[in-house]
């Protein structure tokens, strides 16, 4: 007869407020096979865990069921406690009577009855549990970092400094991300290039970092410790080994009027270009869409129309016939650090649930720019060499109006969250502007100044003290009126409608994940929320991990985040990976499938449905070596434990440990016994 211990947790009063925990413990006590049943205020606490350990010893329990929160929360905690008391951890399971019972029902009687059913189901299941040993698999001690912004750079450096190899993949021609576009950074106003460029060079020169710029992740196979990732190195049409970054080709290129992405459309660049002077790698890329030669080839012209850059290059590094290359890398862990992009107020939106700002002119009013464009205006390496000038006519604006919360905190436009950093960078922008234009007046339309970091609120107060006029309220409409932009707003503090003539308007637009994040997340089989931000494993306890073992997350791709937090998060992800790589082998949950050789008929349906190729063929021979039959066999190292094979096997010869048919049937029976 089984001797199972049932431990019902009050979770303070989170459970006991709606579920009569004593009644549950009492009901379970009477269930056949339950040797010990009690309830306690905090099962996950130290005394709670020692309760379990004491019961295992005294009552000689061969199974433990803890009725408390979700297994996602504390399954590991209680299994470790059971293991320390000598019980095989996989004989310990949790019944979720908090998230899926006490918190979602208020009728005490129904909640208690449901809780009893839930615990009975797990008890019946545990009766059929087998002791299992974790599976040890080798770990490839190499990491893949996707995204070369400040988060990706920091993660790569930390992992590489920790002695492991890193493959850093960056979609753009150069690493640096949005930080490289900034002029100064809050709250200390130090120049962003000065603190970023050394890190970028460090990445480029680091012996253990393999930088694949102008590349994207194509596909991924395998699992924690044993990923195989295919990376598409987009054709640069410049041979990296030959080019020394002299830049002559970019000077001679006839196509000079292409809007520069790096300058957020304010500056221009050539067809063969390096995004910005401190680019790493400092190797140009040919923009196929705008290069005369490629446009000619696309039209099927026999003779090449241009070729100036090839002729100019003294090292023969230009190669118009270069193709995309697919590179495969074996890695043990992955960091997603793809960063953010800014919301735009235009009529056409990249996502179906987003709407633009018709009341602000859908982005067609000249001199209405966003934060990054203002950064480029303020940046010494920007199109105006640091002078604040209007994009339309180059005049120095005397009144600049900054609008906070554009897109953010605006459910009508499809984004409910606050983008966290705009209050800070708008205060920064007002200071940059007032430093450069002494007789200029900065006006900010805000709702709440959110500056919760270290030295942050002092920073915004300084901006206000230095003359920025902060008006509390949203703007209802903006329109062009001759030379100026009419801004119709309201100041709820003074209770007046305010109409301003602005020479320039800067919109603090919302932070969104990069376009295409959904397809990358699906490639890595990582879940994401309705905005496309990657879902962390647990918002408080496991913020840098995802639910997919071996895939970590850092920076603004997980939620709006400023530079200090992104760097901290990157280092956290790196430390998680270094601890993963610290032991030679990785122990993995033993929830894998096993084949019953006696009943397997070798139909191999399981092989057909197994996505991971974990099914191998094994010949069964008699003592004389004659082949009796060929049966399926599971490679424990590769099997991920999804169980699809078991549901497909016609002869029920393959069983997934921990989720066998017997266990599921017994759980069903428990409800109606």
- Name residues contacting other proteins, limited to 79-118 (CB under 8 A): 96, 98-101, 103-107, 110-111, 113-114, 117-118
The least distance separating other proteins from the CB of residue 553, rounded to whole angstroms, comes to 14
599 binds other proteins (CB under 8 A): no
The least distance separating other proteins from the CB of residue 11, rounded to whole angstroms, comes to 12
SS3 label, residue 672: helix
The least distance separating other proteins from the CB of residue 640, rounded to whole angstroms, comes to 6
The least distance separating other proteins from the CB of residue 104, rounded to whole angstroms, comes to 5
409 binds other proteins (CB under 8 A): yes
The least distance separating other proteins from the CB of residue 281, rounded to whole angstroms, comes to 34
Q: Which of 646, 653, 654, 655 binds other proteins (CB under 8 A)?
A: 646
671 binds other proteins (CB under 8 A): yes
Whichever of 244 and 476 has its CB closer to other proteins, that residue is 476
Taking the C-alpha atoms of residue 386 and residue 436, their distance in angstroms, rounded to an integer, is: 9
Of the candidate spans 129-137, 260-268, 273-281, 646-654, the one that interacts with other proteins by CB under 8 A turns out to be 646-654
DSSP-derived pairing of the beta strands 34-40 and 63-68: unpaired
414 binds other proteins (CB under 8 A): no
Taking the C-alpha atoms of residue 654 and residue 563, their distance in angstroms, rounded to an integer, is: 50
The least distance separating other proteins from the CB of residue 357, rounded to whole angstroms, comes to 8
Hey, which residues does 299 pair with through a beta bridge?
none
- Angle CA 273–274–277, to nearest 5: 135
- b/e code 38-74 from CB counts within 10 Å (16+ = b): bbbeebbeeebbebbbebbeeeebbbbbbbbbebebb
Whichever of 514 and 644 has its CB closer to other proteins, that residue is 644
- Assign residue 190 a region (left: φ > 0; alpha: ψ between -120 and 50; beta: otherwise): beta
The least distance separating other proteins from the CB of residue 497, rounded to whole angstroms, comes to 5
First to last CA, the chain: 18
Taking the C-alpha atoms of residue 556 and residue 514, their distance in angstroms, rounded to an integer, is: 9
Taking the C-alpha atoms of residue 148 and residue 168, their distance in angstroms, rounded to an integer, is: 7
Of the candidate spans 206-214, 254-262, 404-412, 503-511, the one that interacts with other proteins by CB under 8 A turns out to be 404-412
Binding mask 416-435 vs other proteins (x if CB under 8 A, - otherwise)?
Answer: --------------------
656 binds other proteins (CB under 8 A): yes
Q: Which phi and psi angles does 94 have, rounded to 5°?
A: -115, 145
517 binds other proteins (CB under 8 A): no
- Sign for the CA dihedral angle at 318, 321, 324, 329 comes to negative
Taking the C-alpha atoms of residue 243 and residue 249, their distance in angstroms, rounded to an integer, is: 11
Residue by residue, DSSP assigns 57-88 as HHHT-SEEEEEES-HHHHHHHHHHHHHHTTS-
The least distance separating other proteins from the CB of residue 365, rounded to whole angstroms, comes to 11
Taking the C-alpha atoms of residue 165 and residue 370, their distance in angstroms, rounded to an integer, is: 38
246-275 positions binding other proteins, by CB under 8 A? none
Of 144, 151, 96, the C-alpha closest to 119 is: 96
Of 548, 559, 549, the C-alpha closest to 517 is: 559
DSSP-derived pairing of the beta strands 285-286 and 272-273: antiparallel
437-496 positions binding other proteins, by CB under 8 A? 447, 472-477, 479, 481, 486, 488-492, 495
Q: Which of 465, 530, 624, 626 binds other proteins (CB under 8 A)?
A: 530
The least distance separating other proteins from the CB of residue 592, rounded to whole angstroms, comes to 11
The least distance separating other proteins from the CB of residue 471, rounded to whole angstroms, comes to 9
Tell me the two tokens of residue 559: 């939620």
579 binds other proteins (CB under 8 A): no
669 binds other proteins (CB under 8 A): yes
DSSP annotation of 137 reads E
Of the candidate spans 35-43, 239-247, 424-432, 635-643, the one that interacts with other proteins by CB under 8 A turns out to be 635-643
Q: Which of 527, 596, 601, 651 binds other proteins (CB under 8 A)?
A: 527
Q: At what angle do helices 371-378 and 422-436 cross, to 10 degrees?
A: 30
**Do residues 572 and 541 lie in contact, with contact meaning Cβ atoms separated by under 8 Å?**
no
74 binds other proteins (CB under 8 A): no
Taking the C-alpha atoms of residue 86 and residue 96, their distance in angstroms, rounded to an integer, is: 24
359-398 positions binding other proteins, by CB under 8 A? 359, 361-362
Residue by residue, DSSP assigns 178-197 as GGGG-SEETTTTEEHHHHHH
Of 56, 58, 77, 59, the C-alpha closest to 68 is: 77
Q: Which of 59, 497, 587, 596 binds other proteins (CB under 8 A)?
A: 497
611 binds other proteins (CB under 8 A): yes
- Give the CA radius of gyration of the chain: 31
127-156 positions binding other proteins, by CB under 8 A? none
Whichever of 38 and 96 has its CB closer to other proteins, that residue is 96
643 binds other proteins (CB under 8 A): yes
Whichever of 45 and 525 has its CB closer to other proteins, that residue is 525
Whichever of 240 and 448 has its CB closer to other proteins, that residue is 448
Whichever of 427 and 656 has its CB closer to other proteins, that residue is 656
Whichever of 117 and 545 has its CB closer to other proteins, that residue is 117
Q: Which phi and psi angles does 115 have, rounded to 5°?
A: -60, -45
Q: Which of 298, 305, 515, 668 binds other proteins (CB under 8 A)?
A: 668
Tell me the two tokens of residue 431: 């200071």
205 binds other proteins (CB under 8 A): no
Q: Which of 413, 428, 429, 561 binds other proteins (CB under 8 A)?
A: 413
SS3 label, residue 427: helix
Taking the C-alpha atoms of residue 118 and residue 406, their distance in angstroms, rounded to an integer, is: 47
Q: Which of 233, 434, 640, 653 binds other proteins (CB under 8 A)?
A: 640
Hey, which residues does 333 pair with through a beta bridge?
143
3-state helix, strand, coil in the chain (%, to 5): 30, 25, 45
662 binds other proteins (CB under 8 A): no
287-316 positions binding other proteins, by CB under 8 A? none
**Total residues at the site for other proteins (CB under 8 A)?**
81
70 binds other proteins (CB under 8 A): yes
Of the candidate spans 272-280, 322-330, 352-360, 560-568, the one that interacts with other proteins by CB under 8 A turns out to be 352-360
Tell me the two tokens of residue 96: 């979720």
548 binds other proteins (CB under 8 A): yes
Whichever of 82 and 471 has its CB closer to other proteins, that residue is 471
Q: Which of 591, 603, 630, 638 binds other proteins (CB under 8 A)?
A: 591
């Amino acid at each position: 007869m089984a001797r199972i211990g049932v431990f019902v947790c009050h979770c303070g009063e989170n459970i006991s407020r709606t579920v009569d925990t004593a009644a549950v413990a009492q009901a379970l006590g009477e269930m056949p096979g339950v040797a010990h049943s009690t309830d306690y205020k905090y099962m996950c606490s130290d005394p709670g865990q020692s309760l379990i350990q004491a019961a295992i010893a005294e009552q000689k329990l061969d199974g433990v069921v803890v009725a408390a929160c979700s297994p996602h929360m504390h399954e590991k905690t209680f299994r470790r406690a059971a293991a320390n008391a000598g019980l095989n951890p996989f004989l310990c399971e949790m019944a979720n009577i908090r998230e899926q019972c006490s918190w979602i029902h208020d009728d005490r009687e129904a909640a208690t009855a449901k809780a009893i059913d839930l615990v009975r189901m797990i008890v019946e299941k545990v009766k059929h549990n087998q002791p299992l040993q974790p599976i040890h698999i080798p770990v490839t001690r190499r990491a893949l970092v996707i995204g070369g912004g400040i988060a990706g750079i920091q993660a790569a450096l930390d992992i590489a400094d920790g002695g492991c190899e890193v493959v850093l993949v960056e979609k753009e021609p150069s690493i640096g991300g949005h930080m490289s576009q900034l002029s100064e950074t809050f709250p200390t106003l130090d120049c962003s290039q000065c603190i970023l460029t050394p890190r970028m060079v460090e990445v480029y020169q680091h012996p253990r970092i393999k930088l694949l710029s102008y590349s994207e992740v194509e596909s991924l196979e395998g699992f924690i410790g044993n990923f195989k990732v295919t990376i598409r190195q987009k054709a640069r049409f410049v041979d990296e080994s030959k080019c020394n970054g002299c830049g002559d080709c970019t000077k001679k290129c006839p196509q000079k009027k292409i809007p520069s992405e790096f300058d957020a459309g304010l500056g221009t660049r050539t067809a063969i270009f390096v995004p910005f002077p401190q680019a790493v790698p400092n190797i140009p890329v040919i923009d196929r869409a705008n290069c005369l030669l490629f446009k000619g080839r696309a039209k099927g012209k026999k003779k090449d129309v241009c070729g100036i850059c090839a002729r100019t290059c003294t090292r023969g590094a230009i190669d118009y016939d270069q193709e995309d290359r697919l590179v495969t890398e074996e890695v043990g862990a992955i960091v997603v650090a793809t960063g953010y992009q800014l919301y735009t107020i235009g009529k056409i939106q990249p996502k179906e649930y987003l709407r633009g700002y018709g009341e602000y002119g859908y982005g067609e009013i000249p001199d209405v720019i966003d934060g990054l464009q203002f950064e480029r205006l303020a940046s010494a390496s920007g199109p105006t060499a640091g002078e604040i000038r209007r994009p339309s006519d180059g005049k120095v604006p005397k009144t600049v109006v900054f609008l906070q919360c554009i897109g953010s905190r605006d459910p009508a436009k499809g984004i409910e969250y606050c983008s966290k950093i705009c209050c800070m960078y708008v205060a920064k922008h007002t200071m940059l502007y007032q430093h450069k234009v002494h007789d200029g007046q900065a006006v900010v339309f805000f709702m709440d100044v959110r500056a919760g970091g270290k030295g942050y609120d002092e920073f915004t107060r300084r901006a206000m003290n230095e003359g920025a006029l902060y008006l509390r309220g949203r703007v209802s409409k903006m329109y062009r009126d001759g030379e100026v932009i009419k801004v119709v707003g309201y100041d709820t503090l003074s209770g007046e409608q305010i109409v301003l003539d602005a020479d320039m308007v800067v919109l603090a637009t919302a932070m969104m994940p990069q376009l295409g994040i959904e397809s990358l997340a699906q490639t890595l089989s990582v879940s994401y929320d309705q905005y496309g931000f990657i879902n962390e494993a647990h918002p408080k306890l496991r913020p840098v991990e995802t639910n997919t073992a071996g895939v970590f997350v850092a920076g603004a791709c997980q939620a709006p985040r400023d530079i200090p937090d992104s760097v901290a998060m990157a280092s956290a992800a790196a430390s998680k990976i270094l601890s993963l790589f610290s032991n030679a082998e990785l122990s993995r949950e033993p929830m894998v499938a096993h084949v019953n050789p006696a009943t397997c008929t070798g139909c191999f349906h399981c092989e057909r449905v197994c996505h991971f190729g974990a099914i191998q063929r094994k010949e069964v021979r008699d003592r004389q070596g004659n082949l009796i039959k060929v049966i399926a066999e599971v490679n424990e190292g590769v099997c991920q434990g999804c169980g699809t094979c078991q549901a497909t096997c016609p002869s029920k010869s393959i069983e997934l440990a921990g989720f066998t048919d017997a266990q599921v049937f017994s759980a069903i029976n428990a409800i109606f016994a």
